[in-house]
Amino acid sequence: MMRLVSIGLLATLLTLAGCGGDRAPVRTDPVWYDDLIGQPTGARTGWPDAVDCTPMPGVALRGGDLTMALGEEVSPARAPVPSTAAERVVFAGCYETLTRVACTGELAPGLAERWDRLEGGRRWRFHLRQGAVFWDGTPVTATAVMASWSRNLALTDGLGRPCPGLWLEPTGRGMIARTATLLEIRLAEPQDDLPRLLAHPALAVAELREGWVWPVGSGPCRLGADTDLPLPDLVCRPNDHHPEPPRWRSFTFRVLPGTDPRDLLQDGVDLALVRERRALDFYGELGSVRQAPLVWDRKHVLLVPPQLDVSPALGARFAGASATVADGRDTDRLTFRRCREVACPQLHGPTMRVIAPPLDPDPARVVPRLAPVVHDAADPDAAALAARVAALLPERPTVRALPSAAVGRTLQGLDPALVVVRLDACYPSPCLTLAALLAHAHWLQAAVPEADIDACRAARVLLDGGHAIPLADTRAHVVWRGPLAGLELGHDGTPLIATLGVAASAVTP
């Protein structure tokens, strides 16, 4: 049911379109977004907190062995599609997407070294990097990219949230391997955000190999055929075939799921990621440990189905509720990036108009006066925020923790409920973030007019109508000991460990 709604929204992009048209050069310079509300047009900024893009500035030396502790599970069975923040860090170093978007918003080549925009944005051609090979030496081909995306789509079926793979229809007619290194994608309507969509982590490229525990990738961090499950150490080596190999000699992920985050930075560990406030306070009292916030990468939103109306009662602040678990702040936005007033084809289109909603509620069904507040049982921030919402409502509704898939079913409106959902900063543009939000439920899609609409106006429609109420943003911190430098972040705030190393300034001449 969730998948049908997602396809109704997302498959708009890649139905078969005609051929022909003029070739235009593609731009890879930064794209900037205007503020959602109240900012003057043309304001130039990336993330609102640009300083977070360089948590460990400086020049890194070559060589050395580094270790990073991760407090969540990492599984080769899910690679290259991450389901935890720990997997996102590991997979970001091991597997590549066709394009990359930096924390600052700059679009750059990944596995695709260049791309062509044809027919005014209806057709795109992506040229894979010359000499790109997987860890076992086999070439990365356009056919391999399509096969990987198809497998990635299957991997996301159980996650209970929209997947960008639905946008691409890798087994359909909208995608063609023109040559071994030329992939063509055809769209139903012009779409200039497509190169940015391809930077989504769920569109990383990998292949299964007999005898290998991990799918083989082409990223700067290389795993070997004999690399086993992390027990607890997962050791990466530089991929010398990559155009930007890491500066370190080896990088070890120490995977410690369930460990108290105050115990992650143990002996032999150089850095760790933490989200819990108590851990940040603990490390803040240690003079030998430094810490820096990353970008705001998680946004929690309360979705209110049309049968319910609670927005007038929600005037209190929410950041304090999530700050007990993570570093939180209040927010009035439905996107991460600043938006601009240009049409978002992702928010409407011919496919949406022909896909029916899953099931309409029984008209004789009585909507309960005390609709519950529902959240994903695996999300502690969502649990804290759901409790806060319930406490603010005069009816004092119950709070229910459900599995991800059950949350998806609830959003279809069959059992009216207020639902706290989490948006991750995986989509590097406001249009794509809002499209992913609308994909949660058909009644959200119906709230946005089926006409040319930009992300700013679509967000206002959802906000003013009380359909989606932003609650809080949260983020992780990196903590480390010793002189480290060079850490860069991806567009979703993920640390890119290939750029990390020992600071050159730490060496005495």
321 domain residue, yes or no = yes
* Predicted local confidence at residue 280, as pLDDT: 92
CATH code where residue 312 lies: 3.10.105.10
88 domain residue, yes or no = no
Distance CA 454, CA 452 (A): 7
State the chain's mean pLDDT as an integer.
Answer: 81
322 domain residue, yes or no = yes
CATH code where residue 266 lies: 3.40.190.10
The answer on pLDDT for 39 being more than 50 is: no
Element (H, E) at 419: strand 418-424
What's the pLDDT tens digit per position in 433-470? 888 888 888 888 888 876 678 888 999 999 988 899 99
What's the pLDDT tens digit per position in 490-501? 999 999 999 999
2 domain residue, yes or no = no
Task: Specify whether 335 is located in the same domain as 455.
Answer: yes
57 domain residue, yes or no = yes
Q: Kindly state the average pLDDT of the residues 197-211.
A: 94
What's the pLDDT tens digit per position in 106-156? 999 999 999 999 999 889 999 999 999 999 999 999 999 999 998 988 887
What range does the domain containing 228 cover? 52-75+219-293+479-509
Q: Report the percent of the chain where pLDDT is more than 70.
A: 79
Task: Specify whether 436 is located in the same domain as 304.
Answer: yes
Q: What is the DSSP letter of 248?
A: S
What's the pLDDT tens digit per position in 54-97? 899 888 999 999 999 999 999 999 999 998 899 999 999 999 99
214 domain residue, yes or no = no
Distance CA 389, CA 386 (A): 5
What's the pLDDT tens digit per position in 23-36? 233 333 333 333 32
The answer on pLDDT for 181 being more than 90 is: yes
Task: Specify whether 405 is located in the same domain as 261.
Answer: no
* Predicted local confidence at residue 230, as pLDDT: 87
Report the 10 Å Cβ neighbour count for 238: 18
Task: Specify whether 502 is located in the same domain as 456.
Answer: no
Task: Specify whether 384 is located in the same domain as 406.
Answer: yes
Q: 253 vs 59, which has greater pLDDT?
A: 253
Task: Specify whether 335 is located in the same domain as 412.
Answer: yes
Task: Specify whether 348 is located in the same domain as 260.
Answer: no
What's the pLDDT tens digit per position in 279-318? 999 999 998 999 999 999 999 999 998 888 776 667 677 7
- Any residues with CB less than 8 A from the CB of 253 and at least 6 apart, and which? 67, 68, 70, 74, 86, 89, 90, 230, 233, 234, 235, 236
CB 199 within 8 A of CB 429: no
Task: Specify whether 256 is located in the same domain as 312.
Answer: no
Task: Specify whether 484 is located in the same domain as 447.
Answer: no
**Counted domains in the chain:** 2
Distance CA 143, CA 215 (A): 16
